[in-house]
Amino acid sequence: MRHAQVELRELLLSVDPELYAAHFRNVIVHGRSVTFVLQQLRSRVHGFDAWYEPWQQEIKEDALLRYCVDVRNDILKKGDTHAGANLYIRSLSTDQIGPSPEGAKSLFIGDHLGGIGWDVDRGDGTAEKVYWKLPREVGEVWYTFRDAPLIHLGKDITGLSAAQLLDLYLKYLARLVGEARRTFGVA
């Protein structure tokens, strides 16, 4: 649970698009692992299955919780995050970006990760992206989920960023772990 929470915190602090994307994936993967680890109690504590069954049913029936499970599966099996990057620029001058790195072929603004930087020739006929770290006063990047769920635990959740939806997901998982601790004294 803690790893997923740390990844969400790092995601929210990240100004590097590649790190943002990595933290995003890690929140989903570590979040899903919480239920796998929790289910290890099945063989260690009496009454686990009866206690867990309503939680498991709620996870299956709730749009957001099911969506996060599906996204985790697609990340691991297809590389698909179900998310797209959004870039908002408050004010930007190319002078702020500074000189281009050696071998730079072009400047890009708003690639698939929402980043700004240069396509740099590696000298072997291939190119790599070198990102400029977007200062918060210049703009921001965030993800939104494609076909995001609209309801979580009976409440509307429209218009939220992927990070906000992941926060709701982790809060649910933290409540689940807390209840397991109270009920069984472990987790």
Work out how many domains the chain is built from and give that number. Answer: 2
pLDDT of amino acid 16: 82
Residue 10 shares a structural domain with residue 76: yes
Question: Residue 156 to residues 19, 139, 147, 163: CA-CA distances in angstroms?
Answer: 30, 28, 14, 16
| pLDDT of 187 higher than 60 | no
Measure the CA–CA gap between 82 and 93, rounded to whole angstroms. 32
Phi, psi at residue 63, to the nearest 5°?
Answer: -60, -45
Residue 91 shares a structural domain with residue 77: no
Residue 75 shares a structural domain with residue 10: yes
Mean pLDDT of the chain: 91
For residue 122, which amino acid is it? R
Write the CB contacts of 5 (distance below 8 Å, at least 6 apart in sequence). 170, 174
Structural domain span for residue 113: 87-140
pLDDT of amino acid 62: 97
